[in-house]
Amino acid sequence: AQRVTQPEKLLSVFKGAPVELKCNYSYSGSPELFWYVQYSRQRLQLLLRHISRESIKGFTADLNKGETSFHLKKPFAQEEDSAMYYCALTRGSTLGRLYFGRGTQLTVWP
Amino acid sequence: DGGITQSPKYLFRKEGQNVTLSCEQNLNHDAMYWYRQDPGQGLRLIYYSQIVNDFQKGDIAEGYSVSREKKESFPLTVTSAQKNPTAFYLCASSRTVWNTEAFFGQGTRLTVV
C-alpha cells in the first residue's frame, strides 16, 4: 500500500532562514510526487511536482528514490511562505487519485 | 470566475439528517473527487468519478453517497449512517483521472449538532 508521511506537524523558522519540509513515502512502484499548499483563507493549490523539476516561489523538491523522500526546500524563507503544506503521491500511470500526507503548518516569523 | 465552486461554505445540520454538499466546476474536467479534511489527518478520499455516470469509492466511503449525472456537478450526500460527519469537505477536479494536477474548491465546513 502507498503511504505518505510528513513527520512534522508544525515548523517555525525566522525570515531569511532556510526551510525544509520533510516528506517520505512508501510505494513499490514508480510514483509521482507533489507538493500542495494552502495559504490562509485560500484554496488548496498545486505548488510543484517532481516530474517538472522546477522551482516555484523559490521552493524546490528532489525525488530521492533511494531514501523514498521528496523534501521541500527553500534557502531563504519569507513571511508569505507561511501556510499549510501537503505532500502527495499518485501511482504513476495508473489511477490519478492523490494520496496525501497529514500536512505541515509552516510559520515564518519576521 | 472559473474553477470549482462549493456551496454552502458553512452548513449546520441536526444529527440523523441527511445533507447534500454541492460541487460545480466549469473547467470541463472529466474527473472529480471528494476529500475529507480533519485536523492532523491530511486529506482522505471519500469518492471519485472518472466520467459522467461513473463513480468509485475512496478510502472512507461509508456513510456517504454521490452522483455524477452531469459533467460539471458532483454532489456529496452525508447520510445519517456517517458516524462522525462534522468535518471540512473539499471537492476537487482534474482534466482526466490520469492527469494528476487537481484543482480544489474552497471547501464546506459541515457541523452536525
**A65 touches B at CB < 8 Å:** no
Whole-angstrom Cα distance, residue B98 to residue A91?
A: 10
> In the predicted model, is pLDDT for residue A85 greater than 90?
yes
CA atoms within 13 A on the CB side of A25: 29
> In the predicted model, is pLDDT for residue B16 greater than 90?
no
> In the predicted model, is pLDDT for residue B71 greater than 70?
yes
> In the predicted model, is pLDDT for residue B36 greater than 70?
yes
Whole-angstrom Cα distance, residue A47 to residue A37?
A: 6
The residue among A18, A40, A30, A45 whose CA lies nearest residue B92 is A45
A14-68 pLDDT per residue, tens: 999 999 999 999 987 778 899 999 999 899 999 998 877 788 899 999 889 889 9
> In the predicted model, is pLDDT for residue A69 greater than 60?
yes
pLDDT at B98: 67
With CB atoms and an 8 Å threshold, state whether A98 touches B41.
no
With CB atoms and an 8 Å threshold, state whether A46 touches B101.
yes
Whole-angstrom Cα distance, residue A89 to residue B87?
A: 23
Work out whether strand A10-14 and strand A104-109 pair parallel, antiparallel, or are unpaired.
parallel
What are the chain B neighbours of A4 within 8 Å (beta carbons)? Answer: 42
pLDDT at B47: 95
For B100, name the nearest residue in chain A, comparing CA atoms only: A96
CB A59 within 8 A of CB A4: no
